[in-house]
């Protein structure tokens, strides 16, 4: 087991190159199952969730060839099974996309319920609704999700909630279904657009991704090609907030500034400076800045991302006055607040609202990463705090951020990864 040791107090200054987007990668990798040819994926983040996905594909008999650590070639021509290994798929959320991809390829799937971060209940009723609209019978009665379509055909899908996962699954299945599919109340996240661009690049016919209505004309004739994954909006946003929280000056390279607008807007509201280049963003704090308290709500794109909510709350813990954060996506995404309280933060959670009373400073403490983005928030808290912070359960962080602590160290963060000696006697 490993943990992170962080000595707080350093201003972060310098440049960070942002990696490819995790949530786009975990949608595009299963999409390769729809292609009987070589898909070359570039700007793939070197993270645990991606390695796990490649392993799942290999176990299904896909050929996976690493060109370098961020480029792979995947050939799914020889895949003949629609039953991925449950012990692997249960370890991540993005494995749910195997349902849509295998349905598109074989008109059937048999997949274990997915794992992933714990934010309360994470239903899949909308995924099932989409598959049924395309002519699929779905059975979840025996703990495994089985789907079978006699004739996978286009259909009309209206989502009752805006859901990234079900939108991805509907797109994957519809890309190879017979006829036209219309998805209404679709998610609009950058990774939805990236998946559509990937599939179109391979010969699919998908229009409207990034709007509420996506139209897909199914085709069986997808071909191979090369595709670079978009930069990670959440990694970029995490460094933007870390720069602000340490009163630093950081330039982020390899970003799409449009994807970061809402994060920039909230930071500017607090008094932080942000300027945009063509594919870069600079975030800095001027001497003598008096920060302002803010309120924000985490919402589906183009709203403030729920995956940035813990990081922004962490920054607000030392801004004078009362700020509020409303979680508008997940049932329970405030579990990390107890960890921040150990560091001296003054936060009260009332249902989906966190009320943050600014304190003078955070103090180093022993905390744990309760999930992936909560882990990123703990790193920011450690960098802000007086003294040393120890973060355990960092496997969550490794699932989703490439070379995370190395990137922080390069811009002045004092972070060390150390082995934990298990003295429990077990």
Q: With contact defined as beta carbons under 8 Å apart, do 277 and 256 qualify?
A: no
Q: Which listed range, 11-19, 137-145, 159-167, 408-416, lies at the site for ligand EPU (CB under 6 A)?
A: 159-167
Number of H helices, E strands in the chain: 14, 23
Residue 307 contacts ligand EPU per CB under 6 A: yes
Q: Please, what is the minimum distance in Å from the beta carbon of residue 353 to ligand EPU?
A: 16
- Give the residue, chosen from 93, 188, 368, 407, that forms a contact with ligand EPU under the rule CB under 6 A: 93
What does the alpha-carbon distance between residue 367 and residue 160 come to, in Å, rounded to a whole number?
Answer: 37
* Strand pairing report for 156-158 and 180-184: parallel
Q: Please, what is the minimum distance in Å from the beta carbon of residue 22 to ligand EPU?
A: 6
User: Among all residues, which ones are annotated catalytic?
Assistant: 117
Tell me which DSSP letter residue 352 carries. Answer: T
Q: Which listed range, 33-41, 161-169, 284-292, 315-323, lies at the site for ligand EPU (CB under 6 A)?
A: 161-169
What does the alpha-carbon distance between residue 13 and residue 305 come to, in Å, rounded to a whole number?
Answer: 25
Q: Which listed range, 35-43, 55-63, 138-146, 156-164, lies at the site for ligand EPU (CB under 6 A)?
A: 156-164
Judged by CB, which is closer to ligand EPU: 330, or 404?
330
Please report, as residue ranges, which positions from 112 to 141 form the binding site for ligand EPU (by CB under 6 A). Answer: 117, 122-127
Residue 188 contacts ligand EPU per CB under 6 A: no
In sequence order, what are the beta bridge partners of 273? 284
Q: Please, what is the minimum distance in Å from the beta carbon of residue 23 to ligand EPU?
A: 3
* Strand pairing report for 71-75 and 136-139: unpaired
Residue 26 contacts ligand EPU per CB under 6 A: yes
Judged by CB, which is closer to ligand EPU: 48, or 373?
373
What does the alpha-carbon distance between residue 317 and residue 382 come to, in Å, rounded to a whole number?
Answer: 12
Tell me which DSSP letter residue 258 carries. Answer: G
Closest listed residue to residue 100, CA positions, set 200, 26, 160, 191? 26
Q: Where are the beta strands (DSSP E) in 47-204?
A: 63-68, 71-75, 108-111, 136-139, 145-149, 156-158, 180-184
What does the alpha-carbon distance between residue 192 and residue 164 come to, in Å, rounded to a whole number?
Answer: 7
Closest residue to bound ligand EPU by CB: 165
- Give the residue, chosen from 94, 248, 375, 382, that forms a contact with ligand EPU under the rule CB under 6 A: 94
Residue 370 contacts ligand EPU per CB under 6 A: no
Judged by CB, which is closer to ligand EPU: 266, or 364?
266
Q: With contact defined as beta carbons under 8 Å apart, do 29 and 227 qualify?
A: no
* Terminal-residue alpha carbon distance, the chain: 13
Q: Please, what is the minimum distance in Å from the beta carbon of residue 236 to ligand EPU?
A: 13
Judged by CB, which is closer to ligand EPU: 26, or 347?
26
Residue 170 contacts ligand EPU per CB under 6 A: no
* Strand pairing report for 2-7 and 156-158: unpaired
Judged by CB, which is closer to ligand EPU: 122, or 293?
122
| Helix (H/G/I), strand (E/B), else coil: 331 | coil
Q: Please, what is the minimum distance in Å from the beta carbon of residue 387 to ligand EPU?
A: 28
Q: Please, what is the minimum distance in Å from the beta carbon of residue 55 to ligand EPU?
A: 17
| Chain residues in the site for ligand EPU (CB under 6 A) | 23, 26, 93-94, 117, 122-127, 161, 163-166, 187, 306-307, 329-330, 372-373, 400
């Amino acid at each position: 087991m490993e943990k992170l040791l962080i000595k707080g107090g350093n201003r972060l200054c310098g440049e960070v190159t942002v990696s490819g987007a995790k949530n786009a990668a975990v949608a595009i990798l299963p999409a390769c199952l729809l292609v009987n040819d070589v898909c070359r994926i570039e700007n793939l983040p070197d993270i645990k969730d991606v390695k796990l996905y490649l392993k799942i594909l290999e176990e299904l008999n896909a050929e996976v060839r690493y060109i370098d650590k961020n480029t792979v070639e995947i050939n799914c021509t020889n895949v003949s099974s629609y039953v991925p290994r449950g012990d692997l798929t249960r370890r991540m959320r993005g494995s749910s996309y195997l349902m849509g991809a295998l349905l598109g390829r074989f008109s059937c799937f048999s997949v274990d319920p997915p794992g992933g971060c714990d934010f309360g209940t994470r239903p899949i009723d909308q995924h099932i609704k989409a598959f049924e609209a395309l002519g699929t019978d779905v059975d979840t009665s025996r703990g495994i999700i089985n789907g079978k379509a006699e004739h996978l055909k286009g259909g009309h899908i209206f989502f009752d909630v805006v859901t990234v996962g079900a939108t991805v699954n509907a797109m994957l299945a519809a890309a190879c279904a017979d006829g036209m599919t219309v998805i209404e109340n679709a998610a609009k996240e950058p990774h939805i657009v990236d998946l559509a661009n990937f599939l179109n690049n391979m010969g699919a016919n998908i229009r409207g991704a990034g709007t509420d209505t996506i139209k897909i004309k199914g085709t069986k004739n997808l071909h191979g090609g090369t595709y670079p994954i978009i930069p990670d909006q959440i990694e970029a946003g995490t460094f933007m907030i870390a720069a602000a929280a340490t009163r630093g000056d950081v330039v982020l390279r390899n970003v799409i500034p449009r994807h970061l607008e809402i994060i920039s807007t909230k930071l500017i509201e607090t008094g932080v400076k942000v300027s945009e280049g063509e594919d870069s963003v600079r975030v800095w704090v001027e001497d003598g800045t008096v920060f302002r308290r803010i309120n924000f709500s985490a919402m589906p794109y183009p709203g403030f991302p729920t995956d940035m909510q813990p990081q922004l709350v962490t920054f607000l813990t030392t801004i004078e006055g009362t700020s509020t954060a409303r979680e508008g996506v997940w049932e329970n995404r405030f579990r990390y607040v107890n960890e921040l309280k150990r560091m001296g933060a003054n936060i009260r959670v009332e249902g989906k609202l966190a009320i943050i009373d600014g304190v003078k400073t955070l103090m180093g403490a022993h905390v744990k990463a309760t999930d992936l983005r909560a882990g990123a928030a703990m790193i920011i808290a450690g960098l802000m705090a007086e003294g040393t912070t120890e973060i355990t359960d960092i496997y969550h962080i490794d699932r989703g951020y490439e070379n995370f602590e190395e990137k922080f160290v390069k811009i002045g963060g004092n972070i060390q990864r150390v082995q934990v000696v298990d003295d429990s006697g077990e």
